[in-house]
Amino acid sequence: MRKIAFILLLCGLLFGSISTKAQFDPEKICRIENGNILFSINLKWSEQEKKEVSLLFDLDSTLLARVYKGETSFTYQGDTWKVVKLKGNVVELSKAFGSATGQSKARSNDVLLLVDSWMNFAGHTDEASVVFGYNQFDIAYTFQYGKRAWFYLAGNKTASNVYISGSFNGWSTSLHPMKRVDSGWTVELDLKPGKYTYKFILDGKWIHDPANKLREKDGAGGYNSVVYCPNHVFRLKGNGYSRKVAVAGNFNNWNPSELFLKKTDDGWELPVYLREGTYAYKFIADNQWYTDPVNPITRKDGQGNTNSVLSIGEPYIFKLPGFAEARQVVLTGSFNGWKQDELPMDKTSTGWQLPYILPAGNYEYKFVVDGKWITDPANPFATGSGDHTNSFVALKANHLFELNNHAEAREVIVTGSFNGWSKTGYRMSKNGSKWFFPLLLKPGKHTYKFIVDGAWMHDTSNDLYEKNEVGTFNSILWIAQ
């Protein structure tokens, strides 16, 4: 693992930002500068916020406690740390990169932290975690998206230099200068569909977009503007007599009072961003629900309703060989709430199949054959136990767990922080003397163990590990995106 980290570091590869439930903007907290690792710490953070930052950046809670005590210089685990007060309640915690005194694990953590910091600056969009989104600009023409994204900042004629900075360029302060026009400033960017956060920089001063209603906290007491580059337009022709028209679907929990279309010359429309997946939806015109009249693809939901269906992305083909005598086979799983009559499969010359688009993720599923629930006989991967055993598929997996030299084991399970340390978690498949299991894991740090015929063990082939609360060790895995 350390060799991989060093290779990533030396090659200068930039990866996508790590995923966290916190509202923090990671690159605003940690950065690498002039051979030092620097952290911006807010002394007004709550205990929960401290904990989230500690987990996010692998900062020891004892180290943070010394910062909050007001110490300005101290040595901790062989490293010399300095604390400098910035503006307001913010202080800067820093140390020289790689300054630990000969402890291989400490040096390894430094390298991983540095790689993680580069990951934070990659400018990768948040589409993996965002199901849908739509823009809310006070003036529609201040942002336009076609083949490119066009931003406009009105006024500010006395400014000398204006830049746009955001998640799309690693929050660079100089990469994308804006062009002066008669009424303000503009810039065009090559952006893929997805969600982006950004700010403008006017002569060194950071501001959010005054014409954009969508904002989210930046972790430093201010806000970032949020923009969506759409990949679909909901359109309803006609209905000029309607007072309001909305669209609702499984992407917004069928909320009829959230996504209102705007009136056009020949009907209604709303550009949206939808991540890869399959979506059921309907239009609501003056409280009356309608399927999409121009979309021929519909599907019953198992509750007596028929919905229009929209798919974005490439399908995964679920297959069940055999069962030629079956009257009906239905696909069901964690991706559709385990509905047993929503996704009927198509009969083929060799069995049954259903192309179905899902976003990257880990999914459990089963087939319902003439009312009887079965796992996928062709799939070696499963989770759960007994009657609760389900087949498992990881779409666009980014890690393969492997365990060697346990050819005589009857069952091996991999479990960890990614699945709540479930004892019946992911049952590995055997190939010769090797056990393996693919997963899609969020970028960042994960801890894990193997359960070999009921006995827990850490991964002896991985020299990154840490002691846990029961005095044994958990293996550590870092995922880059």
Tell how strand 346-347 and strand 361-369 pair up.
unpaired
Helix (H) or strand (E) holding 474: strand 473-479
Token pair listed for 81: 């740390």
Helix (H) or strand (E) holding 165: strand 162-166
Judge whether 478 and 115 are in contact, CB under 8 Å.
Answer: yes
CATH assignment of 245-311, among 3.40.50.1980, 1.10.260.40, 2.60.40.10, 3.40.50.170: 2.60.40.10
User: What's the CA dihedral at 69, 74, 79, 85 to 10 degrees?
Assistant: 60
Do the domains 245-311 and 397-481 sit in the same CATH topology, yes or no?
yes
Phi/psi for 118 (5° steps) reads: -60, -40
Which residues does residue 439 pair with via DSSP β-bridges, in sequence order? 399
**Residue type at 325?**
E
CA–chain centroid gap for 323, Å, is 38
Token pair listed for 287: 């409280």
User: For 264, how many CA atoms within 13 A lie in the half-sphere containing its CB?
Assistant: 14
Judge whether 309 and 298 are in contact, CB under 8 Å.
Answer: yes
| 58-to-39, 180, 185, 308 alpha-carbon distances in Å | 12, 43, 41, 46
In the 8-state DSSP scheme, what is residue 245? E
Q: What is the pLDDT of residue 61?
A: 78
Listed in sequence order, the residues at least 6 apart from 135 whose beta carbon sits closer than 8 Å to its beta carbon are 143, 212, 214, 227, 228, 230, 271
Architecture label for domain 397-481: Sandwich (2.60)
| Residue 357, helix vs strand vs coil | coil
The C-alpha atoms of residue 274 and residue 229 are separated, in whole angstroms, by 10
pLDDT truncated to tens, each residue of the chain (481 aa)?
Answer: 333 333 233 233 223 333 333 445 555 677 666 667 788 888 888 887 887 777 666 677 788 888 888 899 988 877 788 999 887 888 888 887 544 433 334 333 443 333 333 232 223 334 456 889 999 998 878 999 988 999 999 988 889 999 999 999 888 888 999 999 888 999 999 999 999 999 999 999 999 999 999 999 888 888 999 999 999 999 998 877 888 999 999 999 999 999 999 999 889 999 999 998 999 999 999 999 999 999 999 988 877 889 999 999 888 899 999 999 999 999 999 999 898 888 999 999 999 999 999 988 899 999 999 999 999 998 889 998 888 899 999 888 888 899 988 889 999 999 999 999 998 889 998 887 889 999 988 888 999 999 999 999 999 999 899 998 888 999 999 887 5
Residue spans of the domains in the chain: they are 2-120, 132-229, 245-311, 314-392, 397-481
Using alpha carbons, select from 129, 123, 216, 119 the residue that is nearest to residue 164. 123
The C-alpha atoms of residue 321 and residue 343 are separated, in whole angstroms, by 17
User: For 479, how many CA atoms within 13 A lie in the half-sphere containing its CB?
Assistant: 19
Helix (H) or strand (E) holding 50: helix 47-57
Tell how strand 434-439 and strand 132-133 pair up.
unpaired
Q: What is the pLDDT of residue 481?
A: 56
Q: What is the pLDDT of residue 15?
A: 30
The C-alpha atoms of residue 51 and residue 175 are separated, in whole angstroms, by 34
The CATH code belonging to domain 314-392 is 2.60.40.10
The C-alpha atoms of residue 124 and residue 348 are separated, in whole angstroms, by 41
The C-alpha atoms of residue 276 and residue 151 are separated, in whole angstroms, by 25
Q: What is the pLDDT of residue 53?
A: 76
Helix (H) or strand (E) holding 28: helix 26-29
The C-alpha atoms of residue 457 and residue 199 are separated, in whole angstroms, by 47
Helix residue ranges, H only, 71-195:
104-120
Helix (H) or strand (E) holding 439: strand 434-439
For 305-411, strand residue ranges (E) read 306-312, 316-321, 329-333, 343-344, 346-347, 351-356, 361-369, 372-374, 382-383, 390-395, 399-403
Using alpha carbons, select from 2, 60, 57, 3 the residue that is nearest to residue 27. 57
The C-alpha atoms of residue 183 and residue 137 are separated, in whole angstroms, by 18
* pTM beyond 0.85: no
Laid out side by side, the sheet with 149-154 consists of 143-145, 149-154, 184-189, 179-181
CATH assignment of 132-229, among 1.10.760.10, 3.90.850.10, 2.60.40.10, 3.30.1330.40: 2.60.40.10
Q: What is the pLDDT of residue 129?
A: 67
